[in-house]
């Protein structure tokens, strides 16, 4: 029988110690890790963090909201959260299927760093920071927009793991919405997606699947902040605001279509909030 | 292995409960829960379709919540409660949900059924009376390729209601006779039959579309790797390293030779060994060196590159041709002519069961293969030639088949299993991974078609010209059939005075294109049916009326010059849509008028089909054997493989009707290739017609034999009663006691075997002749909406009128219609297999439960003179009209003309903008 390939620590400190000793595949929901190993074996043993107490759940903190790393999408859907999180909840319902939402974790979605990760745009519009921990250096906070650095690339060091997400109080305000565009109803990787939040004249908009890393639309946000309320959304949301996106041509859609659809989805997301 | 030594000390198993029972798993704790359930605990009801969370067949409940067991490490269920499909029944009694699935026909092949049941169980636990949207949300993570989902939705919503008796004999909508094991999770599919500790086989495949390769020291690699038992290459093949479904065109090696592979995924060798060791092996480490070569990937490049097969210049496999009348004159003289170019994609069958099976050496020394297949006798013939033995030295026992749709007619795993078991002398098993299944097995042919159609001023067709290139990939498979079928069918079921159709199957380095529900006809129908709408518009005639004016009628010649005295049902199908069409058109116009500012436009579209049942101008016999057993039961050897479509039920209903007994009096016996005669392959919509006719003849023959035993008249009633056959004729009653009669080797005291081969006649050089003994017909209407800003489509409703001659089992007819439509939806809107890019079920999209709208089936019965009780085939017909109907509805809604499928949102948006410009 092969050697044991999985360990399942109960405590964070133990986990961080183990992380420092060697290379691991960190396992939580398993919904990215196992599919990546359909035809090839695991190169490293698995460090299963899904049993660690305290890594799971959503709670209000003095400075905002703390979302534990292994919180599942189903738990996000069921959590009692202010309307600013509506986009995140809507995205949670679009992550794969109910089976996947029951297992997949928020941190896994971020650490997997897919350009089409459903969770990223709604967390970007909440100005989320991620909390990373290591045995050697303790914890550090990194803005989500800096954490994901490329397709499947993050700022996570080999001995580090994500322990929580933090949404600052000042960003957990207003209302938000999420629009995902795909070629079928369920179990779909998006062609483009948009999360938007409006609060006190401020706007936050993030677009996913249209660049290597989902991104906030700074120019558009400025234009929306100064918008005359009587002005129709499609006038304010101009194609130029999407010029910086770097979508690709792939089997799901052409680059030109994605850029175009990003704008349409943005207008719809804003209309939904305003309605 | 490079695993941490510090972890090696753990020996305690993982403790959890399965279906209420405490268990301890000793598998490695990283093992997928699916593998632990199936291999360690032999709970084979939980199915594996993808190992990636894309299909949901492995759905189980963990503490009541549905998850994919394929993405759960067994360690993660420590102390938790797991429920599988085996836990749904109460002491062998179906749960009401299982009962409802059976009653509603929600299970066809049954491979997705456990996943559907588990997801639905979780829903009903929290929402006892869900609405349709709740059902869709809950079941959206489980893919089904057979049913079209509508029966499943009904089964979940009506889980509390029993459907009682629905008549008997031919015409009765009885639940499928093989359905109980499917809803209980006890049916045995290809990967469910291996004994524990059976050796595993894995195949080494080319990573490039075209490559040179050199095999390294594979035997040395095996010797150095503990747990490996054998390597198999072309050199180990005792017979002919060649197979192909049409013997004169056999051209595909089991393992590539000559130092070159011709498509991505072509096999070059296989390894046999201990299951866990092989699954843990990185196949990239196996010593095979590859050098990528320039591939030819389109039918255009095929024409100018060197022949891939020596005898096929220009890479032309086969050119099919049908001509009638003066097409140039007909088009030149037409009042209106429409022309366009069309392109379709590779379409993957995407059955949820990957190819799987087991082989072993029987006690009598012969090789037995137990595997999923659509054609056991063709498998036997192919494997015998490869193994260099007589056919009777190979035994094929079909397992339950988790969907086939044409691809499981060709051999895949069978020769490799036979070689592995012969070389090792031990039982061997194989189960393709999802990417391996997609890479290595057949596809629907992509087509490039140039089509022109003319009509006179009154809207009568004058002629149709069709030129199509079909990408048949690296090897022949069913390419010749596609090339020959398309020109026969490209007119659609319409009277076309002048006609010239040419279809060429060309070799490329693409995946092998073969049989897929419709054999090229769905591609041709996209061109013909969408051009019909444009032609009707040009003539200023309503699109349904245009079709009605041109339908084939009894006695009118088809494009091959064949005419049918009776049974041409297309006019009846279209007539049935007249009222729905008028209503739907009015409703769409009303909605569009009421919502001028909406980005959404509604539209309605039509599509029609005809399809010849059985082989094209070739012999195509089926034999059905049956008899009376010594215990007084009637046994039916049923060799028409049921891949979910329902032949086990339909053949039994026909046989029982002919014999004059209830279906419950007939024992269905599948057997194997030794004892169950060849009922032909499950393809070409031929089983209800051809095997059904043989079953009818067998039933009549057995009836006659029984009546003769009792010396009673033809009017006598037969009943089976406690081991005796009772014959009642008027007032007289006779008994036949089988217990006192001599039984033969099969246990029959009275046996019959009847063969039916449909009458056809060869096609001449212009394709004139009688290719089929009968055709089936259909017409569908799609109502949809298109988002003009995003190019997305939402299907609202589909009405399908299909002429089946006689509905042997209306519930199965409905199931075929809905399932075929779902595949048509996929072909129209999303399915695009790109080798190397979409080799999984998240990049290759098939419709989910949220993508198939409500479907109203209208069963038309225009009896056929040849079919059993008037029945015609249906399986392929149902897919053909859907894609063109969708494209026509998109054009109706927006003016967008989409000529390349799939009609993805960006293609539709581009077409909308072109139409607006």
> Could you report the per-residue pLDDT of A235-249, keeping only the tens digit for each?
999 999 999 999 999
Can you tell me the distance from the alpha carbon of A196 to that of B288, in angstroms, rounded to the nearest whole number? 52
User: Choosing from B368, B381, B529, B876, which is the catalytic residue?
Assistant: B876
Both tokens of A216, joined, read 């906030």
How close B862 gets to chain A, by Cα (Å)? 37
Chain CA centroid to CA B833, Å = 17
How close B416 gets to chain A, by Cα (Å)? 19
ipTM value, please give it. 0.97
Can you tell me the distance from the alpha carbon of B246 to that of B37, in angstroms, rounded to the nearest whole number? 40
A41, A98, A264 ranked by CB distance to B790: nearest: A264
How many other C-beta atoms are found inside a 10 Å radius of the C-beta of residue B548? 17
Backbone angles phi, psi at B704, to 5 degrees: -60, -40
Under-70 pLDDT residues of chain B: 1-11, 165
Contact (CB, 8 A) for B903 and B786? no
B interface mutation test: which of A33, A74, A98 has the most B CBs within 10 A?
A: A98
Contact (CB, 8 A) for B695 and B668? no
Query: Cβ of B185 under 8 Å from any chain A Cβ?
Result: no
Q: How far apart are the first and last CA of chain B?
A: 63
Give Cβ neighbours of residue B422 (< 8 Å, ≥ 6 apart).
B238, B361, B367, B387
SS3 B259: coil
Contact (CB, 8 A) for B359 and B428? yes
Q: Inspect the interface and report whether the beta carbons of B67 and A252 lie closer than 8 Å.
A: no
Which is nearest to A7 in space by CA: A44, A38, A36, A41? A44
Can you tell me the distance from the alpha carbon of B884 to that of B521, in angstroms, rounded to the nearest whole number? 12
Residues 413-442 of B with CB under 8 A from A: 433-436
Can you tell me the distance from the alpha carbon of B604 to that of B584, in angstroms, rounded to the nearest whole number? 7
Q: Domains (ranges, CATH) in chain B?
A: 1-171 (3.10.20.30), 199-295+355-431 (3.30.365.10), 517-615+770-916 (3.30.365.10), 622-756 (3.30.365.10)
Q: Inspect the interface and report whether the beta carbons of B53 and A100 lie closer than 8 Å.
A: yes
Which is nearest to B475 in space by CA: B521, B508, B504? B508
Query: Cβ of B850 under 8 Å from any chain A Cβ?
Result: yes
Residues 143-172 of B with CB under 8 A from A: 143
Domain-by-domain residue ranges, chain A? 175-274
Residue whose pair of structure tokens reads 């959890």 in the numeric block: B16
Can you tell me the distance from the alpha carbon of A93 to that of B68, in angstroms, rounded to the nearest whole number? 16
Domain A175-274 has CATH 3.30.390.50: yes
Query: In Å, what is the CA distance from B12 to each residue of B15, B26, B28, B69?
Result: 9, 7, 10, 21
Query: Cβ of B6 under 8 Å from any chain A Cβ?
Result: yes
Which is nearest to B86 in space by CA: B118, B112, B48? B118
Q: What pLDDT was estimated at residue B11?
A: 57
Question: Angle formed by the axes of helices B376-387 and B414-424, to 10°?
Answer: 50
Residues 14-33 of B with CB under 8 A from A: 28-30, 32
Both tokens of B763, joined, read 């096609």
SS3 B312: coil
- What is the per-residue DSSP string for B455-504? E-TTS-EEEEEEEEEEEEESS-TTHHHHHHHHHHHTT-SB--SEEEEEEE
Partners of A30 on chain B (C-beta within 8 Å) are 71-73, 76
How close B452 gets to chain A, by Cα (Å)? 30
Q: Which residue of B has its CA nearest to A253?
A: B906
> Chains A and B: how many Cβ contacts under 8 Å?
195
Partners of A103 on chain B (C-beta within 8 Å) are 67-68, 71-72
Q: Inspect the interface and report whether the beta carbons of A34 and B143 lie closer than 8 Å.
A: no
Q: Inspect the interface and report whether the beta carbons of B905 and A181 lie closer than 8 Å.
A: yes
Can you tell me the distance from the alpha carbon of B646 to that of B688, in angstroms, rounded to the nearest whole number? 9
Question: Can you name the residues that pair with B622 across neighbouring β-strands?
Answer: B756
How close A253 gets to chain B, by Cα (Å)? 6
Both tokens of B220, joined, read 């040395």
Q: Which residue of B has its CA nearest to A3?
A: B8
Q: Inspect the interface and report whether the beta carbons of B906 and A257 lie closer than 8 Å.
A: yes
Residues 259-318 of B with CB under 8 A from A: 276-277, 279-284
Partners of A187 on chain B (C-beta within 8 Å) are 54, 140-141, 143, 842, 848
What are the E-state strand segments in B221-364? 228-232, 260-261, 267-273, 288-292, 316-324, 336-343, 347-348, 356-361
Cα torsion angle, A249, A254, A258, A260, sign: positive
Give Cβ neighbours of residue B908 (< 8 Å, ≥ 6 apart).
B786, B791, B792, B793, B890, B894, B896, B898
Q: Which residue of A has its CA nearest to B903?
A: A183
What is the signed CA dihedral for B903, B906, B911, B916, rounded to 10 degrees?
140
What are the E-state strand segments in A120-199? 129-134, 138-143, 148-150, 153-154, 161-168, 175-181, 192-199
**Taking 80 as the threshold, does the pLDDT of residue A50 lie above it?**
yes
Can you tell me the distance from the alpha carbon of B79 to that of B851, in angstroms, rounded to the nearest whole number? 38
Can you tell me the distance from the alpha carbon of B647 to that of B679, in angstroms, rounded to the nearest whole number? 11
A34, A250, A261 ranked by CB distance to B71: nearest: A34
Query: Cβ of B840 under 8 Å from any chain A Cβ?
Result: yes
Backbone torsion region of residue B428, taken as left when φ is above 0, otherwise alpha when ψ lies between -120 and 50, otherwise beta: beta
What is the average per-residue pLDDT within A19-28? 97
A31, A40, A74 ranked by CB distance to B71: nearest: A31
Omega before B902 within 30 of 0, i.e. cis: yes
SS3 B418: helix
Both tokens of B387, joined, read 């193994």
Can you tell me the distance from the alpha carbon of B557 to that of B565, in angstroms, rounded to the nearest whole number? 10
Q: What pLDDT was estimated at residue B3?
A: 39
Output the pTM of the full model: 0.97
The mean predicted confidence, pLDDT, of chain B is 96
Q: What pLDDT was estimated at residue A4?
A: 62
Can you tell me the distance from the alpha carbon of B243 to that of A136, in angstroms, rounded to the nearest whole number? 61
How close B481 gets to chain A, by Cα (Å)? 29
Contact (CB, 8 A) for B507 and B317? yes
Can you tell me the distance from the alpha carbon of B676 to that of B669, in angstroms, rounded to the nearest whole number? 8
Partners of A46 on chain B (C-beta within 8 Å) are 30, 73
The CA radius of gyration of chain A, in Å to the nearest whole number, is 19
Backbone angles phi, psi at B395, to 5 degrees: -120, 125
Q: Inspect the interface and report whether the beta carbons of A45 and B3 lie closer than 8 Å.
A: yes
Q: What pLDDT was estimated at residue B8?
A: 44
- Give the DSSP H/E element, type plus range, for residue A68: strand A64-68
Can you tell me the distance from the alpha carbon of B222 to that of B162, in angstroms, rounded to the nearest whole number? 57
Using pLDDT thresholds of 50, 70 and 90, give the confidence band for residue A3: low
Q: Which residue of A has its CA nearest to B12?
A: A4
- Give the DSSP H/E element, type plus range, for residue B800: strand B793-803
Partners of A19 on chain B (C-beta within 8 Å) are none
Contact (CB, 8 A) for B782 and B720? no
Catalytic residue status for B876? yes
Chain CA centroid to CA B80, Å = 38
pLDDT, tens digit, for every residue of B418-437?
A: 999 999 999 999 999 999 99
Can you tell me the distance from the alpha carbon of B686 to that of B83, in angstroms, rounded to the nearest whole number? 40
Contact (CB, 8 A) for B117 and B179? no
Q: Inspect the interface and report whether the beta carbons of A257 and B54 lie closer than 8 Å.
A: no
SS3 B568: coil
A33, A103, A187 ranked by CB distance to B140: nearest: A187
């Amino acid at each position: 029988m092969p050697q044991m390939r999985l360990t399942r620590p109960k405590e964070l400190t133990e986990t961080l110690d183990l992380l420092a000793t060697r290379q691991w595949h960190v396992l939580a929901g398993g919904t990215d890790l196992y599919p990546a190993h359909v035809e090839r074996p695991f190169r490293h043993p698995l460090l299963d963090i899904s049993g660690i107490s305290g890594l799971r759940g959503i709670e209000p903190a003095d400075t905002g909201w703390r979302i534990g790393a292994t919180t599942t999408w189903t738990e996000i859907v069921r959590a009692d959260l202010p309307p600013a999180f509506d986009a995140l909840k809507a995205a949670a319902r679009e992550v794969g299927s109910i089976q996947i939402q029951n297992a997949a974790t928020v941190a896994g979605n971020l650490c997997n760093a897919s350009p089409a990760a459903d969770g990223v745009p709604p967390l970007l519009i909440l100005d989320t920071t991620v909390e990373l921990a290591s045995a050697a250096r303790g914890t550090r906070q990194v803005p989500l927009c800096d954490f994901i650095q490329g397709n499947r690339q993050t700022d996570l060091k080999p001995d580090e793991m994500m322990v929580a997400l933090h949404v600052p109080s000042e960003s957990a305000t207003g209302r938000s919405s999420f629009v995902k565009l795909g070629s079928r109803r369920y179990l779909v990787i998006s062609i483009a997606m948009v999360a938007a939040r409006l609060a006190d004249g401020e706007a936050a908009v993030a677009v996913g699947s249209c660049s290597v890393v989902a991104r906030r639309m700074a120019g558009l946000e400025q234009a929306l902040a100064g918008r005359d309320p009587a002005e129709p959304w499609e006038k304010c949301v101009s194609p130029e605001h999407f010029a910086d996106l770097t979508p690709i041509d792939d089997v799901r859609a052409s680059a030109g279509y994605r850029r175009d659809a990003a704008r349409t989805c943005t207008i719809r997301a804003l209309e939904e909030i305003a309605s | 292995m490079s695993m941490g030594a510090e972890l090696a000390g753990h020996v305690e198993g993982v403790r959890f409960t399965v279906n209420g029972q405490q268990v301890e798993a000793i598998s490695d704790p990283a093992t997928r829960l699916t593998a632990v359930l199936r291999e360690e605990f032999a709970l084979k009801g939980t199915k594996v379709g993808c190992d990636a969370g894309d299909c949901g067949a492995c759905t189980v409940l963990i503490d009541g919540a549905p998850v994919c067991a394929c993405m759960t490490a067994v360690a993660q269920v420590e102390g938790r409660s797991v429920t599988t499909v085996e836990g749904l029944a109460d002491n062998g009694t179906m749960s009401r949900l299982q009962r409802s699935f059976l009653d509603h026909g929600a299970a066809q092949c049954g491979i997705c059924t456990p996943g559907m049941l588990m997801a639905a169980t979780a829903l009903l636990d929290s929402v006892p009376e869900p609405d349709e949207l709740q059902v869709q949300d809950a079941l959206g993570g489980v893919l089904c390729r057979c049913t079209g989902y509508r029966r499943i939705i009904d089964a979940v919503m009506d889980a509390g209601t029993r459907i009682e008796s629905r008549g008997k004999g031919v015409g009765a909508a009885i639940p499928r006779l093989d359905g109980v094991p499917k809803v209980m999770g006890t049916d045995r599919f290809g990967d469910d039959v291996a004994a524990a500790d059976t050796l595993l086989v894995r195949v080494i495949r080319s990573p490039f579309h075209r490559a040179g390769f050199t095999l390294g020291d594979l035997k040395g690699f095996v010797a150095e790797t503990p747990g490996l038992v054998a390597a198999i290459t072309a050199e180990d093949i005792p017979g002919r390293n060649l197979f192909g479904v049409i013997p004169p065109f056999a051209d595909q090696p089991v393992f590539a030779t000559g130092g070159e592979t011709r498509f991505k995924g072509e096999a070059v060798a296989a390894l046999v060994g201990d299951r866990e060791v092989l699954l843990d092996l990185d196949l990239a480490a196996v010593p095979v060196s590859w050098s990528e070569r320039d591939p030819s990937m389109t039918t255009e490049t095929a024409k100018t590159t060197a022949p891939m097969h020596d005898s096929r210049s220009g890479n032309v496999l086969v050119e099919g041709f049908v001509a009638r009348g003066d097409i140039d004159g007909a088009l030149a003289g037409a009042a209106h002519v429409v022309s366009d170019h069309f392109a379709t994609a590779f379409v993957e069958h995407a059955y949820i069961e990957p190819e799987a099976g087991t082989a072993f050496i029987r006690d009598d020394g012969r090789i037995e293969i137990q595997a999923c297949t659509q054609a056991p006798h063709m498998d036997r013939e192919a494997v015998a030639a490869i193994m260099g033995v007589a056919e009777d030295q190979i035994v094929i026992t079909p397992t339950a088949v988790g969907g086939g749709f044409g691809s499981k007619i060709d051999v895949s795993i069978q020769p490799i299993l036979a070689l592995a078991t012969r070389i090792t002398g031990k039982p061997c098993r194989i189960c393709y991974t999802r990417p391996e299944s997609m890479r290595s097995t057949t596809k629907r042919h992509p087509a490039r078609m140039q089509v022109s159609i003319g009509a006179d001023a009154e809207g009568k067709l004058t002629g149709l010209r069709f030129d199509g290139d079909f990408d048949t990939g690296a090897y022949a498979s069913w390419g010749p059939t596609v090339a020959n079928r398309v020109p026969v069918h490209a007119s659609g079921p319409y009277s076309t005075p002048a006609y010239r159709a040419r279809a060429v199957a060309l070799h490329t380095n693409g995946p092998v294109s073969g049989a897929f529900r419709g054999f090229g006809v769905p591609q041709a129908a996209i061109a013909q049916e969408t051009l019909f709408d444009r032609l009707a518009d040009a003539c200023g005639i309503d699109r349904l009326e245009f079709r009605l004016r041109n339908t084939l009628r009894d006695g009118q010649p088809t494009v091959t010059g064949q005419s049918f005295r009776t049974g041409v049902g297309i006019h009846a199908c279209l007539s049935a849509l007249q009222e729905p069409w008028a209503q739907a058109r009015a409703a769409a116009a009303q909605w569009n008028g009421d919502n001028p500012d909406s980005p959404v436009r509604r539209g309605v579209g039509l599509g029609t089909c005809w399809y010849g049942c059985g082989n094209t101008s070739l012999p195509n016999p089926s034999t059905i054997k049956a008899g009376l057993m010594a215990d007084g039961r009637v046994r039916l050897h049923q060799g028409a493989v049921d891949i979910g479509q329902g032949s086990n039920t339909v053949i039994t209903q026909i046989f029982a009707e002919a014999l004059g007994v209830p279906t419950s009096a007939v024992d269905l016996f599948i057997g194997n290739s030794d004892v169950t005669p060849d009922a032909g392959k499950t393809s070409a919509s031929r089983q209800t017609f051809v095997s059904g006719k043989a079953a009818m003849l067998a039933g009549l023959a057995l009836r006659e034999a029984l009546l003769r035993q009792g010396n009673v008249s033809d009017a006598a009633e037969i009943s089976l009663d406690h081991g005796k056959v009772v014959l009642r004729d008027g007032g007289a009653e006779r008994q036949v006691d089988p217990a006192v009669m001599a039984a033969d080797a099969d246990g029959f005291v009275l046996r019959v075997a009847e063969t039916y081969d449909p009458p056809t006649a060869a096609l001449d050089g212009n394709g004139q002749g009688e290719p089929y003994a009968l055709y089936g017909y259909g017409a569908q209407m799609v109502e949809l909406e298109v988002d003009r800003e995003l190019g997305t489509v939402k299907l609202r409703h589909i009405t399908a009128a299909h002429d089946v001659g006689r509905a042997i089992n209306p519930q199965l007819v409905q199931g075929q219609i809905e399932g075929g439509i779902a595949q048509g939806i996929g072909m129209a809107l999303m399915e695009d297999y790109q080798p190397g890019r979409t080799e999984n079920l998240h990049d290759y999209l098939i419709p989910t439960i949220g993508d198939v709208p409500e479907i109203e089936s209208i069963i038309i019965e225009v009896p056929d003179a040849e079919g059993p009780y008037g029945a015609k085939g249906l399986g392929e017909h149902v897919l053909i009209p859907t894609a063109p109907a969708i494209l026509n509805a998109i054009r109706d809604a927006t003016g967008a003309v989409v000529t390349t499928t799939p009609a993805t949102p960006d293609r539709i948006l581009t077409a909308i903008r072109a139409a607006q410009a």
